[in-house]
Amino acid sequence: MSRQDLTRTLEQLTIWHKILIMLGLLVVVGGCYWYFFLSPQLETMIKLHKSISKVNSDIKRFTTISLQLPALEKKVNAKQSEFLFAQTLLPKDTQALERLLASFEMLAQEMGVSFMSFTPGRETVGELYASRNVSLRLRGSFHNLMRFFDKLSRLDRLVQLQSLRLQPAGQQPGRQGALLGADSTLIVFRALTHEERAAKQAKKSKK
């Protein structure tokens, strides 16, 4: 079709046809502009917005962590002090703990108290130390029993009297005064060895 024929055909179109053609051209041009220019820029803006949101979130999170650092450092220092204190007081290993338990019997003999039974319980391992319940059944005069437990509380190790029950146990042979039976439960503590601490740390790291 020649240019003259195309011009003549356009001139014969009604105004509404011309409007529709113009709208169609605008849609085509707008679509091309959107596809080649606006859409890529919009995707870039969306990605930038997500990146900015993530950065803001990270800033907020790190700010919160930084505000908590003094409290965390204080807590770590307190734990370290507790650990160092425990190291100076607690038996260093299981053998040292057994020697400590044996010293209870020697102390009882010095105080005139008889050991009737001695039952160590199962050891429980904590964060900084291990503990074990020990059931002691003793017999002696009220005065000697109180001296024994007083001396026990003054040991340079961590020993805690958990329970104590006294009951009559007859008369002292050849002496005045009644004998008492004492059923007691002690909690004794020991420090964790280097190997035990390393094993606990390795177990935590696997979680």
pLDDT in tens, 57-87: 877 877 777 777 777 777 766 666 555 444 5
What is the pLDDT, as a whole number, of residue 197? 76
Residue 183 banded pLDDT, cuts 50, 70, 90: very high
Q: Which helix or strand (DSSP H or E) is residue 107 part of? A: helix 94-110
CA-CA-CA-CA torsion sign (112, 150, 161, 89): negative
CA-CA-CA-CA torsion sign (144, 147, 151, 153): positive
Q: Residue 196: CB partners within 8 Å, gap ≥ 6?
A: 125, 130
Assign residue 199 a region (left: φ > 0; alpha: ψ between -120 and 50; beta: otherwise): alpha
Pair 135, 115: CB distance under 8 Å = no
pLDDT in tens, 116-136: 888 888 888 877 778 888 888
The distance of Cα 11 from the centroid of its chain, to the nearest Å, equals: 85
pLDDT in tens, 198-207: 777 777 777 6
Q: What's the rounded Cα separation, in Å, for the pair 20 and 65?
A: 62
Q: Is 33 helix (H, G, I), strand (E, B) or coil?
A: helix
What is the pLDDT, as a whole number, of residue 175? 62
pTM more than 0.85 = no
Which of 45-49, 115-119, 151-155 reaches the highest mean pLDDT?
115-119
